Amino acid sequence: MATLFGDVTTPKVLVVDDQPNIVDMVATVLRFHGFAVSTASTAEQALHRAAEDRPQLVVLDVMLPDGDGFDVCRTLRAGGHQIGVVFLTARDAPADKIAGLTFGGDDYVTKPFAIDELVARVRAVLRRIRPVPGGEPDPGVLRFADLELDEHACQVRRDGHLVPLSPTEFKLLRYLMLNAGRVLSRGQILDAVWSYDFGGATNVVDTYIGYLRRKLDPWGPPLIATQRGFGYALRTPEPP
C-alpha cells in the first residue's frame, strides 16, 4: 500500500556519514532489522540520494566533508521532503542538540553510541511519522475549529487549505489537538513530542510553536494560545 511516505511494508532509510566503518555497521544492522538502506558520505550525495530514493528517514552525521548536516536537514525541509531525521554525531553539547531539533531533526544521538539504541530510536521516529502495520489502530481524523489532522494520510488542513508540516511539527500539532483546551507545560510537550530529556532546555518547544503559528495563522484566527510562564494550549478564538 502506498502512502505519503512510500512503501509501508519496507521502510527506506538513508545513512549519511563520512566514516566508512560507521556507515557499514549502521547499514548492516538496519538491513538485518528489515529496512531498505541506502548510504552517502557527503552532503551533496545525501541530497541526491534523498531526491532519488525518497527515504522515510535519514540517519545524518553533522560533520561532513563538504558541509554541515544541519544545512542538509534545512535543505530537505525547505524542499518539502516529508522525512524523519535522526542526527548521529560526536557533537554532544546541549547547544548542538537544541540546534539539531530546531533545524528540523526528530532525534539526536551522540557518538559513541549503542547500535541497539539507534535502531530503537529509528523505529520510534518512524512510528511517529508513518503508519506501521500491526501497530495501534488508526484513530482517523482529528478536528478542532477549522483545523483537520488526518493521521492516515499524514496531512493537515486549515479552513480547507493543505498545510505542509514536517514530521515533528505534525506530531506537535497532534499532541495539542489531543489535549485541546488544556494548558500544556513546555516540559510536557518536550517529553511527549521528542521523548528525550534535554536538561530543561525547552526553547526548542517555543521554536516549533512559532513554526506552527506561521503555517496555521495565515488561514484563520490564531489557535495556539500562550499561557505566560507555563506553556501553550489549543483554544477556540474568541469572536471579534
C-alpha cell of 74? 534545512
Are 100 and 70 in contact by the 8 Å Cβ rule? The answer is yes
Alpha helix segments (H runs only) across the chain: 20-32, 43-53, 69-78, 94-102, 115-129, 167-178, 186-194, 203-216
Architecture of the structural domain at 141-234: Orthogonal Bundle (1.10)
Within the chain, all domains assigned CATH 1.10.10.10 are found at: 141-234
Say if CB 130 and CB 154 are below 8 A apart.
yes
C-alpha 170 chain-centroid distance: 8
37, 10 Cβ separation under 8 angstroms:
no
What are the Cα distances from residue 167, in Å, to 7, 82, 155, 171? Answer: 17, 7, 10, 6
- What's residue 132's pLDDT? 42
Q: pTM to 2 decimals?
A: 0.58
pLDDT of residue 202: 61
CATH 3.40.50.2300 domain span(s) along the chain: 2-129
- Domain 2-129 superfamily per CATH: Response regulator (3.40.50.2300)
Residue 49, pLDDT score: 93
Q: What stretches in the chain show pLDDT beneath 70?
A: 1-9, 80-81, 129-140, 195-202, 237-240
